[in-house]
Structure 1
Amino acid sequence: MVSWSDGSDSSEHTLEYMSSASDDGTIKVPASIEDSDFEGPETELHVLCHGHGKASERRVAFEGIHTGRRKSKRDRTEDNLMNYFDVHNLTQEKKKLQASYEKLVEDVNGLLDAQERRAEVERKDLESSKIQEKYDMVKNLAAAQANVIRNMKLKLAEERKNLQIHIDELQKTVEESNVKLEGIKAIING
């Protein structure tokens, strides 16, 4: 666990000064602590210090301008280049995904339009079938009425024929009666 120093750390791992090419020849090293949880490659490599020949330790600085690991300009350039390629690849993938999304939206809209057209056709078919049913009903009704009218005409024609026969018989009877009446008149007048 990291513990913060208050500046009066008397730990054997903290160095107070280090020589440098500055004006007075020394610079103050920022306070640091040992990272006991670190299990990375530095602890596996046994690098010896050139100054006193002891194994080097990993430390993290919390003060000053140089905190954390230092990278060379070449490493930063390579990292920037790799980051650029990552960003470029992600941008290309985003464009592909956007195109796929737009195609998907277009396909979904096409499906919805087709479904609406199909529903409209089904609605028209239903209306058409209802109209067809009504037409068939009216057609059947008209056919039934035509049959009734035809039967009535036939019946009327038969009755007319029968009536004509009766009329003819009555006229024949009237003529015979008139002939008899004329005979009776001739006998009476005669």
Structure 2
Amino acid sequence: MVSWSDGSDSSEHTRQCMSSDFDDGTIKVPASTEDSDFEGPEIDMYVLCHGHGKAAERRVAFEGIHTGRRFLCCAEKSKMDRNEECLMHSFNVHDLTQEKKKLQASYEKLVEDVNALMDAQEQRAVIERKDAETTKLQEKYDTLKNIAAAQGTVIRNMKLKLAEEKKNLQIHIDELKKTVEESNVKLEGIKAIING
């Protein structure tokens, strides 16, 4: 490679990363680019590459302390580097596409799991409400059953008491009838004495 400065060789084709809004968060910035405004006393100079025998490309550096430095480089090597870079980008795109598909599948599975969990929670809430309603109904039923049992006991006790009072009243009535009959007999006796 032919350089216009006497500094170190800049044949390294390194990349520098910058943040971006792209999917993977970085974009690759090439170390150099073609310089369409290449000017200088050697503008008419035609330089051939020693390895391929083709015309060298005019480039300008993008990185570090070499930024803005103009140089000539092998067109074939530059083309191969660009092809390799395109291939690497296509591999990266393929990998990112596969990763996106996996993430999409994971996301869909997560959505299904969350929906299933929400459905299970709703069903559990419905069951808990039904259980609470059943418990309340059971409590009401038990209360009514106890009230009915208590009323039955009271009614039985009242019937027994009434039967006993009826029996006592019947005894009292019988005693009164007996007394009336005795009184009638005495009265008849008194009438017989008076009349007789």
Query: Which category of TM-score, normalised to the shorter sequence, fits these structures?
Result: 0.5 to 0.7
Aligned CA distance change for structure 1 residues 12 and 118 (closer, same or farther; 3 Å): closer
Q: Please say which structure displays the higher CA radius of gyration.
A: 1
Task: Tell me which residue corresponds to 2:141.
Answer: 135
The corresponding residue for 1:20 is 46
Per residue, is there more strand in 1 or in 2?
2
The answer as to whether partners of 1:31 and 1:61 remain within 8 angstroms in 2 is: yes
Question: Where does residue 89 of structure 1 map in the other structure?
Answer: 95
Gaps of 5+ in 1: 1-8, 22-26, 38-59
How many angstroms apart in 2 are the aligned matches of 1:160 and 1:143?
A: 25
Q: Which amino acid aligns with 1:83?
A: H
Post-superposition CA distance 1:61-100 (Å, at most 9, x none): 7377x78886444443343233223212211221121111
Structure 1 residues 169 and 91: alpha-carbon distance in aligned structure 2, compared to 1, 3 A threshold = same
Q: Give the match's secondary structure for 1:17.
A: coil
State the TM-score, normalizing by the size of structure 2.
Answer: 0.61
Cα distance between partner residues in 2 of 1:132 and 1:149: 25
1-structure distance, mates of 2:101, 2:59? 47
Q: Which residue of 1 aligns with 2:169?
A: 163
Question: SS where residue 100 of structure 1 aligns?
Answer: helix
User: Is the contact made by 2:59 and 2:73 (CA closer than 8 Å) also made in structure 1?
Assistant: no
Question: Residues 39-188 of structure 1 correspond to what in structure 2 (within 5 A)?
Answer: 60=66, 62=68, 71-188=77-194
Point out where structure 2 has 5 or more consecutive residues left out of the alignment.
8-39, 48-55
8 A contact 1:30–1:61 mirrored in 2 = no
CA distance in 2: counterparts of 1:106 and 1:81, whole angstroms? 37
CA RMSD after TM alignment: 3.6
**Number of residue pairs matched?**
150
Q: Distance in 1 between matches of 2:195 and 2:189?
A: 10
Q: 1:61 and 1:144, CA in 2 relative to 1: closer, same or farther beyond 3 A?
A: closer
Aligned sequence identity (%): 66
User: More relative contact order in 1 or in 2 (CA 8 Å, sep 6+)?
Assistant: 2
Deviations 1:92-125 (A, max 9, x none): 2211211111111121121122112212222222
